[in-house]
């Protein structure tokens, strides 16, 4: 009897197209879920008859209470090699193996620049006006060359974003609590002494920090008030790092020039969510990791995980 494998949040319906599942086809039936299952009751009901679950990033929490309601679950695969919403102790106690997959930092770097450039040159407004037969040239673009790019975080993604900024001729500074002069020098950027100094001095600010107790709410109303009225903020990292209500207020009141956001407190966004209609906001539906190459890595890795698990030699163990 074949095992059943659920692929969660397969919005585009491509999980079985971007990877070759034939190596496990005789042993595993794959079922994609195109709609997000938002609460524990819905997840428990939908996944009760599955032996394997593949989950995207940290979109779906797997606490002990949910794992207890999935008696058939044997293998849980999370895309990437870091996941903070799985209760690993509970999984181990229930005999559930948890594995990760390969992933790339390239797609979020590229999306960061898509948002930043879209904001700077008013691409959405100008494209909308052109297609609707509206005004010709209604905005004045913000220059990148010679302007200051401030990065909150200079890890793998932040470092690559910095190098693109340097290629544009921007002056790049970075801050995080653990950032060293050596790391800043390695990337070729200035280490800034405080987040306050970084925010107040930058024309563009981009967030590239991991979410944790020290970064949750790191940018709130007081920090947003430090930004220049001509400054832009981009967040492709984690929603909870930037206070969403404070950001909405700053946008509505015109206290900053604009924001580019790819992450939200609630995902998918409800139809009536204020982030859908906020002024000066360029928003995308969490596309940071969504690229063909990354999906090939995620789902190809999931197939490898399943094959290894079936052979009794699981790989890329998490927890």
The predicted structure's pLDDT at residue 192:
98
Q: Is the dihedral of CA 318, 81, 177, 197 positive or negative?
A: negative
The predicted structure's pLDDT at residue 245:
98
pLDDT above 90: residue 1: no
Task: Establish how many alpha carbons lie within 13 A of residue 224's alpha carbon, considering only the half-sphere containing its beta carbon.
Answer: 27
Q: Bridge-partner residues for 169, per DSSP?
A: none
Give the pLDDT band (50/70/90) at residue 285. very high
Q: Known catalytic residue: 286?
A: yes
Q: For residue range 233-275, what is the model confidence (pLDDT) as tens digits? A: 999 999 999 999 999 999 999 999 999 999 999 999 999 999 9
Give the pLDDT band (50/70/90) at residue 120. very high
The predicted structure's pLDDT at residue 74:
98
For the chain, the maximum distance between any two Cα atoms, rounded to a whole number of angstroms, is: 64
User: What CA dihedral angle connects 105, 106, 112 and 117, to 10 degrees?
Assistant: 170
The active-site residue out of 160, 191, 208, 286 is 286
**In angstroms, what CA-CA distances link 305 with 117, 129, 297?**
38, 48, 12
pLDDT above 90: residue 38: no
Q: How far apart are CA 275 and CA 269, in angstroms?
A: 8
Residue ranges of alpha helices (H) inside 168-194 are 181-187
Q: Known catalytic residue: 267?
A: yes
The predicted structure's pLDDT at residue 226:
98
CB-based burial, 132-156: b 16+ in 10 Å, e otherwise: eeeeeeeeeebebeebbbbbbbbbe
| Per-residue DSSP letter, 227 | S
Give the relative orientation of helices 106-120 and 292-310 as an angle to the nearest 10 degrees.
160
Task: Establish how many alpha carbons lie within 13 A of residue 277's alpha carbon, considering only the half-sphere containing its beta carbon.
Answer: 5
Residue % of the chain over a pLDDT of 70? 100
Please provide the average confidence, as pLDDT, over all residues in the chain.
97
Residue 109 phi, psi (nearest 5)? -65, -45
Q: Known catalytic residue: 29?
A: no
Q: How many CB atoms lie within 10 A of CB 179?
A: 19
Q: Is 178 exposed, middle or buried (0-12, 13-18, 19+ CB in 10 A)?
A: exposed
The active-site residue out of 147, 148, 160, 238 is 238
Residue % of the chain over a pLDDT of 90? 99
The predicted structure's pLDDT at residue 201:
98
Instruction: Compute the average pLDDT of residues 80-101.
Output: 97
Instruction: Compute the average pLDDT of residues 25-39.
Output: 96
| Per-residue DSSP letter, 26 | T
Give the pLDDT band (50/70/90) at residue 16. very high
| Angle, vertex CA 287, rays to CA 282 and CA 291, nearest 5 | 135
Block residue for tokens 């009897």: 1
Q: How far apart are CA 305 and CA 300, in angstroms?
A: 9
The active-site residue out of 4, 267, 307, 316 is 267
Instruction: Compute the average pLDDT of residues 174-182.
Output: 97
Q: Which residues contact 106 (CB under 8 A, 6 or more apart)?
A: 160, 291, 293, 294
In terms of Cα–Cα distance, which of 173, 164, 58 is closest to 114? 164
């Amino acid at each position: 009897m074949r095992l059943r494998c659920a692929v969660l949040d397969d919005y585009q319906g491509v999980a079985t197209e971007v990877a070759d599942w034939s190596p496990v086809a005789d042993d595993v039936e794959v079922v994609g879920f195109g709609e997000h299952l938002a609460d524990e009751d819905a997840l428990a009901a939908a996944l009760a008859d599955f032996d394997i679950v593949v989950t995207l990033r940290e979109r779906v929490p797997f606490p002990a209470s949910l794992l207890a309601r999935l008696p058939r679950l044997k293998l849980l695969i999370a895309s990437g090699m870091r996941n903070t919403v799985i209760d690993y102790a509970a999984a181990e106690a229930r005999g559930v193996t948890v594995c990760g997959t390969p992933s790339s930092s390239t797609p979020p770097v590229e999306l960061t620049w898509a948002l930043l450039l879209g904001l700077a040159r008013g691409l959405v407004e100008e494209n909308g006006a052109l297609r609707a037969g509206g005004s010709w040239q209604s905005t004045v673009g913000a220059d990148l060359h010679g302007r200051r790019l401030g990065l909150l975080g200079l890890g793998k993604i932040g470092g690559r974003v910095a190098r693109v900024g340097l290629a544009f001729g921007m002056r790049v500074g970075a801050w995080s609590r653990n950032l060293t002069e050596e790391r800043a020098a390695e990337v070729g950027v200035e280490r800034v002494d405080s987040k306050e100094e970084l925010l107040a001095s930058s024309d563009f600010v981009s967030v590239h920090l991991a979410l944790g107790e020290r970064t949750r709410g790191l940018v709130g109303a007081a920090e947003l008030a430090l930004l220049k009225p001509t400054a832009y903020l981009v967040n492709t990292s984690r929603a909870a790092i930037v206070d969403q209500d404070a950001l909405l207020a700053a946008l509505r009141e015109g206290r900053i020039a604009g924001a580019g956001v790819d992450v939200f407190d609630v995902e998918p966004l409800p139809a009536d969510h204020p982030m859908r209609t906020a002024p000066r906001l360029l928003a995308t539906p969490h596309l940071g990791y969504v690229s063909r190459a990354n999906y090939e890595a995620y789902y190809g890795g999931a197939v490898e995980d399943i094959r290894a698990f079936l052979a009794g030699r699981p790989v890329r163990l998490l927890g």
